[in-house]
A and B are shown apart, each in its own frame.
Chain A
Amino acid sequence: MFKEIFLFEFKSCLKNISTYVFFLIFLAIAFASFAGNAGFFDPHSTSLKTMSFANSPHEINFIIQYFNKLYLFLLPAIIGASIYKDYKDNVHSILYSFPIQKRDYFFGKFTSSFCIVILISLAGAIGMIAAEFLPDLDPKKMGEFSLGGYLQVYLVYVIPNLFFYGAIVFAVVSRFRNIYAGFMSIVFIFLFQSISQNAFGSNGTLIALFDPLAQNTVSYITRFWTLEEKNNLIIPFSGLVLYNRLLWLGISGFIFAWAYKKFSFSENISALFNNPFKQIKSGQQEPISLKTKASETAIPVLNYDFSFTQQLKNIWNLSNFHFSYIIKNPMFLMFLILGLITVVFIVGKVTNTGDITLMPVTRIMLKVPAFFFSGTIVILTFLYSGMLIQRERTSGMDQLVDASAVKNWTSLFSKVLAIVKMQLVLLTVMMLAGIIIQIYNGYYQFEIGLYITQLFGLSLISLIIWAFAACLIHTIVPNLYIALFTLLMGWIGIGALPKLGIKTKLLRFNSPPDLEYSDLNGFANTLKPYLLVESYWLIFGFLCLSLAYLFWMRGVPNSIKERVSLAKMRFTKPVKLIVAMCIFSFIALGFNIYKGEKQLLFSSKKVMNKAFAGFEEQYGRYKNFNQPRICSAKIDLDLYPKSNSFKAYGNYTLVNKSEQKIDTLLIKTGFDEITDFNINRKSSLLSRDSLVQFSVIALEESFVPGDSMQLNFTIENKENSLFERNSNVLGNGTFLQQDILPRLGYFMTDPFNPSDPNSKKNHNFATDSDNLDFDITISTSEDQIALAPGKVINQWSENNRNYYNYKIENMKFSMGFNSLKSQVATENWNDIALEVHHHKGHDHNVNKMLDGLKGALEYNSRHFGPYQHENARIIEFPESEGTFATTYGNCIPTSEVRFIANSKTEEGEVDLSLYVSAHELTHQWWGNQIVPANALGASMLTESITEYISLRIYEETYGKEKADQFLKLQRKRYLKGRTSEQEKEPPLMLVKQEQMYISYGKGAMIFTALSKQLGEEKLNRILRGFLEQYKFQGPPYPTSLDLTETLYKEVPDSLSYLISDMFETVCLYENKINKADLRSLGEENYEVTLDFEITKSKDGEDATLADYIEIAFFNEAGKIIESKKHMIYSKANTFKIQVDEKPAKILIDPNLLIIEVDIEDNVWEF
């Protein structure tokens, strides 16, 4: 019987058109997305960098796993439906009377539909493989064809997942006889994945183990893979994968077995959701013949009202019926609870763990969880709009309702309104959850206004648009599940459109530009484009509704022809008028968007890249032209926050510091600004690139060595366009940087190698100046204060504006200007004034920041000499300008993100506020006193040393344990950063500016290790000597090579291998304890026989060993018994070590003196 049932089901699925539709949809998506990934739609990249292969096993796994999630939605449609249809069509009452064995029926149905799902799921692989043979793919993005990659992802992930969750769906549907329950169980699996991702903090092993789809398992085992490895290696089938698969096999198997056991061929179904078979047995009690009293027969004459206003009332009343249907549904409640749990965990992750943790301020509450939660609301909107539109038909009440005098639009709008009410409830829940989480975290600054604006204003528009679209699809597509699937695919597909080259907002349904919110500056200019695009799609939504109205189902099932002719009949004058008005406004709004996007086109990346390429060709010959140097600068800057504009006037004194005369001036002005300039010499403009803003000026009279001249300029901002901000002046929190100012010389130069003597001519931050003097007058509106580097010389008010005059001497060209409504916290350290200018309410971290400044002054003055300014200021700027902190002279502009960082140091977390301000102030020594040459490795002299010192300051404040914890983060930063490196990883001394994972992460590890090897005092003494040698000097500037040479001289010979390993190569170790035996020697003495391996590689090749490796022994209490460095000469080692206490744990390299990818096998526990 099993065979017959299997074949019957299988064949009927094959006859079903939807099977092929699903297959083709996946085939098309897979084909297109592969083609997109492999660069079919883009011009081929010309860069020499390594690209991620579109067809590497790792990438195949990533993409197919993504498809896997979509496949899961097939499970209710196919596996769930296979058993549900018997209930729906009432076949079960007949079927169950046949002599079919339960086993055959149950497994036959499941197996056949499971096979169908597998067949459909193959569409993903087939589409991708087919796309691999497309012509004109980017060869940089294609590796060898890997059949193994496809086989692996299907055999280990896709098919098991489909089996596990197919079994669960089958069980749930057979148990509850409700196909929506099957759909919900899939959504629950996704929610569970979200929860498991967020519930275990940073414990990657548990996240990997509990992920129902094993996506996180793969990303966990490959987390430190470099691009090279991702492109070439097969994902290992490790123990973790196996345990994950077994765990979920167990869970799903249990549920399946339970459903099988409970399954019986009776018509009684579980009472969880409803029970239509329960009947009132009433025939007996009632008298057979009954006559109502004649007086009662007359039906009262009442008022019937079909007016427009009554219809509006009816919409409201009917929507209440539908609304209560939704919220009384137990599935809705379950969904809500699970959704909330997920939100709590996600928020927990944002606010409590991870590298940078944030205060639960309202905008954070609204950002991450709202994103997740609005996704949930969209899914519920799809589901419930379908259930409402099909509600009469599903219950069989359609003919009763259709024959009543209710108007079609009344029915339609009552259902739409019910959906919107549901959305409102969910948004309210979201808001309450946010507030509760804030209270739980002890944060009481609720911004109810912001909650309401964001949730009930901005988010709601987008949700309503989805509701309109969902109503249309569910009206047109009568099969609820196919409609639901269409919507889900559309929702996901719209996100993928830009990848396929469709970037215009005119075609991407309901995809508004991102909103940015800052506590300082609100939504600023992101609000207008958002509202414009959303109005455009809202109007489109009304057109969808009109269409839904025209095709509204009324009466017995109509053929397509009948529905079209009905729609024509309904297309009456008022409808025509509304549709015409909608189309008109749709086009009008669309035209505005089109205009905005056209402006954008001119500054698009493609255009700019082309412009720069052309520029390089035309102006490259000016590369080595000798130029004068800027020796002093005077700038008057007026900021107008209200109108987002500024005006600047200034002049530079230019001096020919070289030995040759100069005939040509090269001037680059601000990219986003309109600049006018002139020089006080006779000259003529030779040529000018207006896109790149570069001018070549011929001097009539040569500019002789030692001579000076003036460059005068005025600067204005360009106006903001719809989708793009051209002016960096904000309503509050303006942060202008030096890129608005004119500069000299050809600027597109690559940094030199440190061994090239040319590198020492310029410092790393400017090629047109050495240290110089600035005189800045800056003004702003009366409610704000304006800040620039230097000391306030004068300060006054005039014409309702605030003016400030700042002066600073002997500083490298690095300049930033701030203006904000500010609160100031001040403190003194040895007569140095410390200030923090921050937004009102952002005071949680101010004291820690001040502590950081003090700590840095303290440590650096002690070890490296005095601080060069009279004060130091931290200035807050909005998140829209960046999330970083930086140093301009004595100013430290710091992103608002860092002001809301949540540093619960008492709970063992890292205090980034203190750390970052200590870091920035340390740059006064390492970056301002000593300025590195314009060469590779420059940031080793600034960032790496600064990170090391910051860590020392951190240790002095919080102790060794906390500092070690921070060091582990630095290690992670380095190893994580390597994974996305597109070039060959350079050693530290050749690090590029942008390779921050090396300069910060690896740099911190290396200097810290060096300080532990040499002793902190000794290392600092060497560093101080180096600093003194170059402090406040012009060219020749120091390079990383200069430092390593100094180190070679100062370090004892036994350790000089370290300098080579650390600075000159990419040196990685791989250590492992194989075995450890413990033997008691009597008394308290023990002998440990330790069998371990040490391997070392340099630049990817095996290296010989003669290295000190530290091995530590810990007792039961976790205290170190002994920790010694041992000289290791070979890979395999067996050591006998005596300790005078019973060891409980052995650890290789406890202090992270060397760098190792996998340290989990460095430990042995008895």
Chain B
Amino acid sequence: MQLVIDQLNKTYPNGVKALDNLNLEIGQGMFGLLGPNGAGKSSLMRTIATLQIPDSGSLYFNEINILNQAQELRKVLGYLPQKFGVYPKMSAEKLLNYFGILKGLRSKKERNIMVQKVLELTNLDDVKKKSVSDYSGGMKQRFGIAQLLMNNPKLIIVDEPTAGLDPAERNRFLNVLREVSSANTVIFSTHIVDDVRDLCNNMAIMNSGKILQKAKPTEAIQSLKSKIWKKNILNEELEIYKSKFQVLSSGFNEDNTIKIRVYADSRPNESFENVKANLEDVYFIGLQK
């Protein structure tokens, strides 16, 4: 089970290069696509989801040539876009039934079985008679998962699903996603590092339409072992440190001093203190490459 992306390019009419000769291979399991806003994540996701045509390049999912056999891919695709709406004043049950038809479920009976199943999986069973347009943000995102499950997809794409969710809702959502990801390829884009840490066994860091780094989160963290250093400095000193060291991140302390994290193979000087690497460090190093 493999998604192969080869030399993908896309330039928008306004001149923005959203995908820049992008190559990527994604296997089974949960794959995190990490990148800042505007990195081209959504463009890539839409292209994989057959909603957008690249200027050049090729995309394969197993045997399916996505660009020529869009319809074949859609049969095994589950897609949750970054933002979506639903027909107003329609219950979850009814809407899912509608998606059941769209996604090729043969009979009404089978559609009902599937609707019930995905409602249970996403814990929406209690509110299945309520209008989805009246759902809260988290419920709506879970409905998004419910609808994408209707065709029992092999390739699941979720685009920034946790943005805007409160912590409780986020946890609930990630739980659901974890439940359904086991045997499939799931691509999960986010700009929140924790999402990837909590869920993914593989990840890539993306910016400016390119893949900057591809890694397994645990291995990547492992590779930074004893290369991350911390120091508290004064606000005015930040620029100096930035020019001297590879500063990964900075943040205020309570006393208005600044704590910085620096990447270096050995301790830069005495004032630095070794700290345990985390995925955020991997991300920032990736971005600075």
Which residues of A are at the interface with B, using a C-beta cutoff of 8 A? 274, 276, 278-283, 286, 288-292, 296-297, 299-306, 310, 314, 317-318, 321, 325, 391, 395-397, 399-407, 554-556, 559, 562, 565-566
Contacts and interface: CB of A to CB of B under 8 A. Distances in A.
A555 B98 CA distance: 19
A555 B105 contact: no
Contacts of B134: 276, 278-280
A391 B85 CA distance: 11
B102 interface: yes
B113 A300 contact: yes
Given A302-B114, A310-B106, A403-B51, A397 B169 contact: no
Contacts of A407: 71
A292 B123 contact: yes
Nearest to B140: A279
A272 to B, nearest CB: 13
B213 interface: no
B166 interface: yes
CB-CB nearest 5 A-B residue pairs: A396-B85, A555-B51, A403-B79, A405-B74, A399-B81
A401 B88 CA distance: 15
Contacts of A291: 175, 179
A181 to B, nearest CB: 15
B132 to A, nearest CB: 10
A1139 B248 CA distance: 115
A396 B85 CA distance: 4
B101 interface: yes
Contacts of A281: 136
Contact of B138 (A283, A305, A400, A565): A283
Contact of A283 (B75, B130, B136): B136
B105 A303 contact: yes
Contact of B79 (A302, A318, A400): A400
Contacts of A299: 114, 117-118, 121, 149, 152, 180
B139 A280 contact: yes
A280 B86 contact: no
B168 interface: yes
Contact of A399 (B84, B103, B127, B169): B84
B163 to A, nearest CB: 16
Nearest to A293: B120
Contacts of A396: 83-86
A404 B168 contact: no
B118 to A, nearest CB: 8
A397 B86 contact: yes
A395 B87 contact: yes
A163 B152 CA distance: 57
B40 to A, nearest CB: 14
Given A302-B105, A302-B114, A286 B88 contact: no
User: Which of A280, A400, A566 gathers most chain B CB within 10 Å?
Assistant: A400
B89 interface: yes
Contacts of B123: 286, 290, 292
A562 B81 contact: no
Given A302-B114, A396-B85, A282 B127 contact: yes
A825 B84 CA distance: 75
B242 interface: no
Contact of B147 (A292, A303, A325, A400): A400
Contacts of A301: 152
A282 B83 contact: no
8 contacts: A280-B136, A282-B136, A292-B121, A292-B179, A303-B110, A306-B75, A405-B77, A555-B53
Contacts of A274: 88-89, 133
Given A282-B127, A566-B53, A302 B110 contact: yes
A291 B121 CA distance: 9
A321 B46 contact: no
Interface string B90-101: 000000001101
B87 A401 contact: no
Contacts of B86: 395-397, 400
Nearest to B53: A562
Nearest to B171: A288
B101 A317 contact: yes
B164 interface: no
A28 to B, nearest CB: 31
Contacts of A391: 87
B146 to A, nearest CB: 11
A823 to B, nearest CB: 56
Nearest to B68: A569
B141 interface: no
Contacts of B15: none
Contact of B105 (A290, A304, A559): A304
Nearest to A317: B101
Given A399-B84, A406-B102, 19 more contacts: A274-B88, A274-B89, A286-B123, A289-B172, A289-B175, A290-B123, A292-B179, A299-B121, A303-B107, A314-B102, A314-B104, A400-B80, A400-B99, A400-B144, A404-B99, A405-B71, A405-B75, A556-B52, A562-B53
B133 A403 contact: no
A318 B101 contact: yes
B86 to A, nearest CB: 5
A931 B56 CA distance: 93
B228 to A, nearest CB: 31
Nearest to A296: B120
Contact of A321 (B88, B98, B139, B179): B98
Nearest to B118: A299
Contacts of B51: 399, 402-403, 554-556
B49 interface: yes
User: Which of A274, A300, A317, A403 gathers most chain B CB within 10 Å?
Assistant: A403
Contacts of A306: 75, 104
A326 to B, nearest CB: 12
Nearest to A328: B89
A280 B87 CA distance: 17
Contacts of A278: 134
B182 interface: yes
Nearest to B86: A397
Interface in B159-197: 166, 168-169, 171-172, 175-176, 179-180, 182
